Chains A and B, each alone.
Chain A
Amino acid sequence: MHDMFFWKRMCASFLAVTLVLPVSVSAASGIRGSPKILNLYLGWEIKESDVPLLARWDMLVLDVDQQQRYPHLIRQLRERNPKIIILAYISSSEIAQARFLESTDFPMGRLAKDVQDAWYLRAPNGNRTEFWPGSSLLNVTNLSSGTGERWNEYLPRFIRDQVMSTGLWDGIFLDNTFVGISYFARSQVDLDRNGRAETDVDANTKWQAGTRSLIHAIRALNPNALLIGNGGTVYADQLNGILSENFPSWNWNENLREYRDALTKNRGPKLGSINVNTKNEARPQDFKRMRFGLASTLMDDGYYSFDQGDWNHHVMWWYDEYEANLGMPQGAAKKIIEQPTTAEGSVWLRRFTKGIAVVNGTNVARRINLPGVFERLRGKQDPQTNDGSLIRTLNLDAQDGAILFNRSDVSDIKNTSFQNGSFVRIFNGQGQVVQNGFFAQREDAPSGALVFIGNVDSEEREDQIYMNGDTVTVKPGKGGKVINFKPFGKSKQTFTLSVGNVNRDPQKEIIVARNGGGPSEVRVFNMKGKLLVSWVAYNPAFLGGVRTAVGDVDGDGLREIVTAPGPGGGPHIKIWKTDGKNWGGSFFAFDPGEVGGVSIAIGDVDGDGKAEIIAGSGQGSIPRVRIFDFRGTLKQEFRIGNVPLAQGITVGTTDIQGDGKDEIFITGQSAF
C-alpha cells in the first residue's frame, strides 16, 4: 500500500518538477543530400557551444586526442546528428614535438612515449627529417627497424587498441599519405640507416610500398574503420577516400580529374573530398572561392571542406549553399564549354533531382545557356548572387561556381490538396519566402477543382483525386476504373478536401466537408466512395462549414483529423480521432473574436519529426499564419501581407525542397 503510494508520489513529484523546470530539447540536425560537407576541425579546443554548429556537417575530422578531452561532446555530436561521420586525425608518418609534452592519458601522449628512435626518418648524416615545422617525419617504409615491430606495424595496432576501441570514432583520417618522400623530406633520406642515401626513385618506391603496408595493416586490424588519406591518389583503391587539400593545387582541370578518378577507385562507402581554403587568411566572405570549390566538388560525389587553410583547419564557416538541397545526382557531370586552346579549364555542369551545379574552371567569365529555367538560391550572405531570381542564362565569373534550383511547379505539390489554377506562395516555418511563387495549374484536372496528387492506393504510381463542384473523382495511377461520387449529394455549395490514412489498411481515405453554407459535418470515404464515418465537428446550428486536415500531430503513430470552423465561427481548432471521437485537444488559433474562418493544414515544418498544426487567417483578416503543436502552444507566427484579404488564405504543406522539412504553401493572394 505504502509502496504504491510511494511510487505515485514519486511520479507526481517528477511530473511537477518537469513542468516547472525548463526542458531543453535537442533536435537532430545534419545536412542531408548534396552538397555533402566536411569540416577539418583540428584545433585543440571544442566548446560546448560548438556542438550544435559542428553537428551540421556530414563529416567531421577531430584530433585523436579529443577522445580524451571531450568524449561527451563527441557523443553529443552523434546525438544531434546520428548520421555524422567522425574521424580521428592521425598522421601516418609524422609526429609533432608538442605530442611529447602530453600526458600519457592522451592517446598521442602514449604514442609519443612509444615512438622508438629507430622509427624516425633520417638523412644520411643521421639527422631527423622534417616536413612540417616542429614535427619529425617517421619512416613508414618496411625498412624501418626497431625493437619488435616497425612503425607501420605499430600504428595499426595503436589505432585498434587506443583509438577505435573507444567506440567514439567511425574511422581514421590518415594525414600525410605521401605518394613519395623525396619532395617532402626536403633532403636526401636514408631509409635503411646504412649511412647512404637512397635515390629519389628508390626512396619513393619504398615509401609507397610502406604506406600501402600501413593501410593494409590498419584495415586488417580495424575492418570496420573508415579510412581517408590526405595526399596521394595512388592509395585510392585501399582507402574510402582521398582528401584533395588546397584544391586546386596546380591545375584545376587536372585536379578535378584526379578527384574524380580517386572517387572511382575508392572503396565504399566513398568519402573522397576536396578542401578549398583562403590560403591561411581569414576570409570567410570569399564567397566566390567557396562556390568555386563547392561546385567543383559537386562534379562528383565527394565531400567539400572550405576553411582558412592548413595553418588553421579550425573554423566553422557556414554558407547558404550548404543548406541548398540539390537532391540526388542525375548521372555524371558534363563538360559544356571547352576553353579555347590558349587557356586552361572548362565549364562543367551536373544535374541533380532538385537543381544543377555549374562550375567555370576557365580564366574568363562565361555566359552559359542553361538547360531550362532555374532559380537562384535566396541567401543573406551574398545577396547579389543568391537573389532568388529565375534565370535561363547564367553569367559566371572565371573560377566561380553556381548552385541553382529547378523552378518549382505544380508537380512539386504532393500529398496535399490545392485549388487548381491558384497562385501558390512558398514559405518555410519561419515565414520566409523560400522560392518564387507559381501557378498551380494541372491540365489534367478542371480549373478551380480541389486536387490531391499522391499515393492513395499504396500501389507504386501516384493517384489523382479531385473535387470539382459537388463531385469527387478518383483516378488510380495504375489505370483502371475512374470513380466518381458526390459526398454530399447534388449541391451548389463549395467543399474542402483532404486525404490521409484514417484506419489501419494501407489505403488512404478521402475526407470531405462543406466549406461554408451548411453544418460542419465531416465525412470520410474510402477510395470507392463508400462512406466510412461522419460527424458534426461544431455546434449543429453553426452553418459556416468546416475545414479539415489529417496527420499524426501527437507523434503516437496514429493519425488525427484536425478541424477548423468555416466563416462565421470563432477560430476554434479541434483535434479528433479518425473515427470521429473527440481526441480531446482544442484551442483558438486566433483571437476568439475573429470569425472569418480558419484554414488548416498539418506538416512537419521545423523538421523535428513531429507534425505541427498550421492555421491560416480567414475572410477579412490581415493574412497571417500561425503554427502550433498539438497542445495548442504557439510555435511560430508570421504575416504575409498588410492588407485585409476578403477571402482569407488557404494553407497547405508539402516538402517542395526535399529537405525533410515541409514548406507551407499559401493560396488566396492573387498574383495580380
Chain B
Amino acid sequence: MAKKPSIRTQTGFLRPTSSVLLAPARAMSSHVRRIYHEKYQGQYRFAFIVFLFDAFLTGIIVTLLGINIFLWASSNSKTSGLEAEVHAPVMIASQTIPVEVVIKSTDGRIHRDVSLTWEFSPSIDVKAMSPAAGLFGSVKLGDISPLSQAHAKVRIQVHAEVGSKVPLRFRVREGLWGNTIQGGEVRQVESGALYAEPAVEAKEVFPGAAIPLRIKNTGNEETDAFILRLIRNTGSNASFGNLGTMVQMEKLAAGEEKIIGIQLDQEISNSVQLTWQLEQQGRIIFRKSGIWKSAVGIAPQVTVKKNEKNIEIQNNNNTDIKIVGMQGEFDVPQNQSRTIDPSQATIGGYVFPYIESSHGSQLVVPTLLPIPVQLPFEAEVRYYSATGDQLGIGPLPPREGELTSYWVLWRVGPVDRELNDLHVHAKLASGVERTGAFTASLGKNNSVDKNEMDWLIPRLEAGTKAEFGLEIQVKPKPEQVGKVLPLVSTSTIENVFVQNWKNPLTSLLDSDFKNKSPGIVLPRISK
C-alpha cells in the first residue's frame, strides 16, 4: 500500500530544498564510492576493512590538520590592539643587561588585565625583574589605556659566546583568555666581559714550557664564578699543572685579571695546538685556540732564591729574559739577577719566562716562586646540613640531662699547590665525646681518644679540598644551664711547611641556617 504523502511533502517545498542541501554530501559519497571501487575492490582480500582503515586514518589526519589550522587561525585572526617594543643595550656576555618592554594601546580602547611572560633561552639568566613575576611566571601589568603605556623591566645576564644569537622574546596577554601577542627580537652578543688570551705573543715553545693565559674581566661589574677548561690538545699532553684540565675560577671584580699557565709535556711535537674555553652556568662564553711551533735548541732557565722579604731571580744565560708576572712584565738581563715582589706570582705560584729571538718570542719553562702556600681551614658545628637535612639528634637547644648530638666539620683547601702529610687535630670540650661516626672525603681517621680528633691527609692536590666530619654528643650538666655550651676547644692543621688553626666552637651554631635556637642550655623538664 502506497504511503500517504505528508502535508509538507505535498507542498513540494522540502524535496527541492533537501536535494540542494544534500548535493555536496551526495557528491562526496559518490566520489568515495568511486575510489573504493577503483582502488580497493578486487585489490585486497579484505578490501572493505582496508578501505575503512585508510578512511579512518585520513579522517584523523584531516581532523588534526583542521584543529591546527583552527588554532593557528584563531590565534592570528584578531589584531590585539596592543603594541610592544623591546629596548635593550648592546649584548655583552657575563654582564648584567637591562631589558625593557614598552606596551601601548594602539586601537584606542582600554586593555584589561594585561600580563607579560618572558621567554628567554637557556643561555640567559634573569637577575632581577620589575614588576616581579607571579606564580606562573607572568608579570602583571594591569590595565593599559590609550594614553598610557606599561613597562616591564628585567635585568639579565647572557652566558653565550660572542657572535651567538640570543632571542629576547615575550608574550603579552590580555585578561585570562584574551588575545596574546608574541614579541621580541634576536640580538647578537657583541662582546664578552670575560676573556682568556695568551699573555705573551709567543710563536714557539720549548718542551716543558707553559703558555700563560691572561683571564680578565673587562666589564664594569663583578662576574659570577666560572670555569676555565682545556678542551683540545694535540702535539703535547697539556694541562693546568696540578689543577688538571679544568679550573674553577672565583668571581672577578671589574677590571680584575688572573694569569694561569697551560703546562706542556717534556715531549712535544713540531706543532702544538690547544683549545680552551670559559664556561659560566654550564654554558660556553668564550673559546679560543692557538698553535705554537716547537722551539729548537736548549731552553734557557732562571733560578730563584728567596731572602727574608723578597724573591731574587737569577738569569745565568747569555740572553736577556723577559718574565710575565701577575703585576706585569719585567726584564732580567743576561747574567744578572732581579728582585721581585711575591705578588708577581700567578695562579699556582708561577711566573713565565720567555726570550725574544729572531723567530719571535719563545716560551721557556715556567718558574715556581717560593711563596708561602695559602691553607684555607674552616671548622664549624652543625645540627642541620647546609641543604636542610637533619644531622644532629636530641633537644635543640641542648637541655640539661639529655643527650644532643651534632656534627663537627673541618674543611681544608682548596690549596694552590699540592700539600703532603697534612695533620688535622682537634680537642673536644670537656664533657663532649665522639659517638664513633665520622666522614672523610679524603685521608684517614686516626682518632683514638674519645675527646680528640685526629685526621691525616697524605696528599691534597692543588685546587682541591677535603672535608672531615665527626659526630659528637653532649649531655649538659646543671651548672651549664643558661650558658652556651663549648663543644670543640681547638682545631689545628699543619705539616712541615704550613699551619693554621681555628677558634673554639660552641652550641651557637653560627653557620647553621636552619637552627633557630641561641644555643643556650635549657633547664631539665620537671616531671
- Chain A, residue nearest B402 (CB): A393
Interface check A415, CB cutoff 8 A: no
B18-33 contacts to A, CB under 8 A, are none
Interface check A201, CB cutoff 8 A: no
Given A388-B390, A441-B439, A646-B225, A20–B64 Cβ distance below 8 Å?
Answer: yes
Contact residues in A for B123 (Cβ distance below 8 Å): 591, 593
A634-672 contacts to B, CB under 8 A, are 640-641, 644, 646-647, 669-672
Contact residues in A for B280 (Cβ distance below 8 Å): 620
| A13–B442 CB distance below 8 A | no
Interface check B288, CB cutoff 8 A: no
Interface string of A4-28 (1 = CB under 8 A from B): 0110011001001100110000000
Contact residues in B for A423 (Cβ distance below 8 Å): 385, 439
| A619–B385 CB distance below 8 A | no
Interface check A185, CB cutoff 8 A: no
Kindly state the separation between the CA atoms of A147 and B233 in the bound complex, as whole angstroms. 101
Interface string of B45-75 (1 = CB under 8 A from A): 1100110011011001000100000000000
Interface check A439, CB cutoff 8 A: yes
| A595–B283 CB distance below 8 A | yes
| B282–A594 CB distance below 8 A | yes
How far is the CB of B14 from the nearest CB of chain A, in Å?
A: 40
- Chain B, residue nearest A446 (CB): B444
Kindly state the separation between the CA atoms of A555 and B401 in the bound complex, as whole angstroms. 56
| B44–A421 CB distance below 8 A | no
Given A441-B440, A672-B380, A593–B386 Cβ distance below 8 Å?
Answer: no
| A447–B229 CB distance below 8 A | no
Interface check B111, CB cutoff 8 A: no
Q: Which one of A20, A425, A447, A593 contacts B60 once the chains associate, using CB atoms below 8 Å? A: A20
Contact residues in B for A433 (Cβ distance below 8 Å): 388-389
| B244–A544 CB distance below 8 A | no
Contact residues in A for B443 (Cβ distance below 8 Å): 447-448
Interface check B352, CB cutoff 8 A: no
A356-387 contacts to B, CB under 8 A, are 373
Contact residues in A for B445 (Cβ distance below 8 Å): 447
| B231–A596 CB distance below 8 A | no
Contact residues in A for B440 (Cβ distance below 8 Å): 421, 441, 447-448
Interface check A580, CB cutoff 8 A: no
| B393–A390 CB distance below 8 A | yes
Contact residues in A for B10 (Cβ distance below 8 Å): none
Interface check A52, CB cutoff 8 A: no
Interface check A618, CB cutoff 8 A: yes
| B246–A391 CB distance below 8 A | no
Interface string of A433-452 (1 = CB under 8 A from B): 10011111100001110000
Kindly state the separation between the CA atoms of A16 and B58 in the bound complex, as whole angstroms. 11
Interface check B490, CB cutoff 8 A: no
B100-148 contacts to A, CB under 8 A, are 122-123
| B386–A568 CB distance below 8 A | no
| A593–B225 CB distance below 8 A | no
Of B60, B230, B281, most A-chain CB atoms within 10 Å: B281
| B46–A6 CB distance below 8 A | yes
Interface check A543, CB cutoff 8 A: yes
| A421–B389 CB distance below 8 A | no
Kindly state the separation between the CA atoms of A21 and B45 in the bound complex, as whole angstroms. 27
| B441–A448 CB distance below 8 A | yes
Q: Which one of A6, A391, A596 contacts B44 once the chains associate, using CB atoms below 8 Å? A: A6
- Chain B, residue nearest A375 (CB): B390
Contact residues in B for A591 (Cβ distance below 8 Å): 122-123, 282-283
Interface check B284, CB cutoff 8 A: yes
Interface check A96, CB cutoff 8 A: no
| A543–B57 CB distance below 8 A | no
Size class of the contact patch on chain A: 35 or more
Q: Which one of A10, A617, A620, A640 contacts B226 once the chains associate, using CB atoms below 8 Å? A: A620
- Chain A, residue nearest B525 (CB): A367
How far is the CB of A672 from the nearest CB of chain B, in Å?
A: 4
Q: Which one of B245, B282, B388, B444 contacts A516 once the chains associate, using CB atoms below 8 Å? A: B245
| B282–A619 CB distance below 8 A | yes
| A644–B389 CB distance below 8 A | no
Contact residues in B for A9 (Cβ distance below 8 Å): 50, 53
Interface check A315, CB cutoff 8 A: no
Kindly state the separation between the CA atoms of A437 and B389 in the bound complex, as whole angstroms. 6
Kindly state the separation between the CA atoms of A516 and B245 in the bound complex, as whole angstroms. 8
Q: Which one of A6, A447, A593, A620 contacts B441 once the chains associate, using CB atoms below 8 Å? A: A447
Given A544-B231, A594-B283, A595-B279, A392–B224 Cβ distance below 8 Å?
Answer: no
Contact residues in B for A595 (Cβ distance below 8 Å): 229, 277, 279, 282-284
Q: Which one of B43, B53, B282, B437 contacts A10 once the chains associate, using CB atoms below 8 Å? A: B53
Given A389-B390, A392-B393, A671-B386, A644–B282 Cβ distance below 8 Å?
Answer: yes
| A671–B387 CB distance below 8 A | yes
| A671–B54 CB distance below 8 A | no
Interface check B248, CB cutoff 8 A: yes
How far is the CB of B273 from the nearest CB of chain A, in Å?
A: 11
| A670–B248 CB distance below 8 A | no
Kindly state the separation between the CA atoms of A646 and B60 in the bound complex, as whole angstroms. 50
Kindly state the separation between the CA atoms of A210 and B468 in the bound complex, as whole angstroms. 73
Kindly state the separation between the CA atoms of A95 and B262 in the bound complex, as whole angstroms. 91
Interface check A180, CB cutoff 8 A: no
Interface string of B375-386 (1 = CB under 8 A from A): 000001010011
B427-482 contacts to A, CB under 8 A, are 437-445, 467, 469
Q: Which one of B53, B225, B407, B444 contacts A447 once the chains associate, using CB atoms below 8 Å? A: B444
Interface check B171, CB cutoff 8 A: no
Interface check A622, CB cutoff 8 A: yes
Contact residues in A for B160 (Cβ distance below 8 Å): 593
Kindly state the separation between the CA atoms of A644 and B225 in the bound complex, as whole angstroms. 9
Given A422-B441, A439-B437, A441-B438, A671–B225 Cβ distance below 8 Å?
Answer: no
Given A17-B60, A617-B282, A670-B386, A517–B53 Cβ distance below 8 Å?
Answer: no
Interface set of A (CB-CB < 8 Å, partner B):
2-3, 5-6, 9-10, 13, 16-17, 20-21, 373, 388-393, 419, 421-423, 425, 433, 436-441, 446-448, 516-517, 541-544, 567-568, 590-591, 593-596, 617-622, 640-641, 644, 646-647, 669-672
Return the 10 tightest CB-CB contacts between A and B, nearest first.
A439-B439, A621-B282, A437-B389, A671-B385, A447-B440, A594-B282, A591-B122, A596-B282, A672-B409, A13-B53
Pull 25 A–B residue pairs with CB atoms less than 8 Å apart, ordered by A. Answer: A2-B44, A6-B45, A388-B390, A439-B439, A447-B440, A447-B441, A448-B442, A517-B245, A541-B232, A590-B282, A591-B283, A619-B227, A619-B246, A619-B282, A620-B225, A640-B387, A644-B224, A644-B282, A646-B248, A671-B407, A671-B469, A672-B409, A672-B411, A672-B467, A672-B511
Besides the known contacts A438-B389, A619-B246, 16 further A-B residue pairs in the complex with CB atoms under 8 A apart: A9-B50, A13-B57, A20-B60, A391-B393, A392-B393, A422-B441, A439-B438, A439-B439, A447-B441, A542-B231, A543-B232, A590-B282, A593-B283, A595-B277, A671-B407, A672-B411
